[in-house]
């Protein structure tokens, strides 16, 4: 008889909207959050460079099933461009490759921004995770080589100047779709302006549907987490629900990342059928008849994601109660 794999953590589910500090990698952040929550499963919805700060949505448990929906959501970045230099990495990390004495005026920059809004083509940075012929661009770049990276279609919803700093840098805010490289925006703007440029500071402030109101810092999480060094008197040190109450209060519901999908409320009996993978007829005057994707919820908790065809909900992915 096959031995059942022992769970390595708690079956905790939901979203932690981490305000990632500069210097921490995305994978490192996920590992830290997983450890703090003693979670059995964790993942993030969109890499954030170590030199960048801000929003890194981290999914725990059942919420990992909803990661693709958050990854596809619009993102907002606030970033600072330093003019007069181009760097290998298009940010502070790499050595300078080109310089210019020219500095753009705000009017010159503003005149170019319409070229960077809507659906545009963009070439990702050489120092990126793009894979060409089986090789990661950043691996080749670190060895001193370059790859011919084809331009990709991206979408920029808005691109605004926030301010010009006292030392001549320009602060921007951009709302963009999946796959956009802010470092490439700085590089290309610098080239078009004839002065070169790179990202000197980068912060992600939103990943739809999450906003800055959902932020939680590493310090808040560490303060709320139970101490593991010594067991409480008369109680083993292992995971115990009441010890994690303060920490779990910082988690958003599993369904929080699915705001873009139609929501259908179902009864407990219907929820039980859906969780078994059974299709159900949606009842009620306001029940939708058709939808490529929708969420079924019971008592405000996510039950399933599925398609609605002729008034029948057909589950594609179900969630534990």
DSSP summary character for residue 101? S
* Cis peptide bond upstream of 43, omega within 30: no
Lookup result for tokens 């810092």: 217
d(CA 308, CA 135): 41
Of 304, 264, 263, 310, the residue nearest 289 (C-alpha)? 310
Of 49, 90, 201, 214, catalytic: 49
46 by Cβ neighbours in 10 Å (0-12 / 13-18 / 19+) ranks as middle
DSSP summary character for residue 166? T
Contact present, 280 and 312 (Cβ < 8 Å): yes
Q: Count Cβ neighbours within 10 Å for each residue of 186-212 and write b for 16 or more, e otherwise.
A: bbbbbeebebbbbbbbbbbbbbbbbee
167 labelled catalytic: no
Could you report how far apart the first and last alpha carbons of the chain are, in Å? 29
d(CA 162, CA 183): 17
d(CA 211, CA 5): 38
d(CA 189, CA 198): 9
What H or E segment, with its residue span, contains residue 219?
Answer: helix 218-224
Q: CA dihedral in degrees (152, 196, 109, 21; nearest 10)?
A: 70
Lookup result for tokens 């596809």: 72
Active site residues: 49
């Amino acid at each position: 008889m096959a031995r059942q794999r022992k769970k390595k953590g708690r079956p905790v589910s939901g979203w932690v909207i981490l305000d990632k500090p500069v210097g921490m990698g995305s994978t490192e952040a996920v590992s830290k959050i997983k450890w703090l929550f003693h979670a059995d499963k964790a993942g993030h919805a969109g890499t954030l460079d170590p030199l960048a700060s801000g929003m890194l949505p981290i999914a725990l448990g059942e919420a990992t099933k909803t990661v693709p929906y958050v990854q596809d959501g619009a993102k907002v970045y606030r970033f600072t461009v330093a003019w007069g230099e181009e760097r290998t990495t298009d940010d502070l990390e790499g050595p300078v490759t080109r310089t210019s004495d020219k500095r753009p005026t705000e009017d010159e920059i503003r005149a170019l921004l319409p070229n960077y809004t809507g659906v545009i083509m963009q070439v990702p940075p050489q120092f990126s995770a793009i894979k060409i012929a089986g090789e990661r661009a950043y691996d080749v770049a670190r060895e001193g080589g370059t790859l011919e990276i084809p331009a990709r279609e991206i979408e920029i919803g808005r691109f605004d100047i926030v301010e010009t700093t006292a030392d001549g840098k320009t602060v921007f805010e951009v709302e963009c779709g999946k796959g956009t490289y802010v470092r490439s925006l700085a590089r290309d703007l610098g080239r078009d302006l004839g002065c070169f440029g790179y990202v000197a500071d980068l912060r992600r402030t939103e990943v739809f549907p999450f906003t800055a109101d959902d932020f939680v810092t590493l310090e808040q999480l560490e303060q709320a987490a139970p101490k593991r060094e010594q067991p409480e008197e008369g109680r083993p040190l292992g995971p115990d629900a009441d010890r994690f109450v303060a920490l779990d209060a910082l988690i958003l519901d599993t369904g929080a990342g699915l705001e873009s999908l139609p929501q259908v409320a179902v009864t407990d009996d219907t929820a039980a059928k859906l969780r078994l993978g059974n299709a159900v007829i949606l009842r009620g005057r306001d029940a939708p008849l058709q939808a490529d994707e929708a969420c079924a919820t019971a008592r405000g908790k996510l039950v399933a994601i599925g398609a609605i065809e002729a008034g029948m909900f057909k589950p594609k992915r179900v969630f534990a109660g």
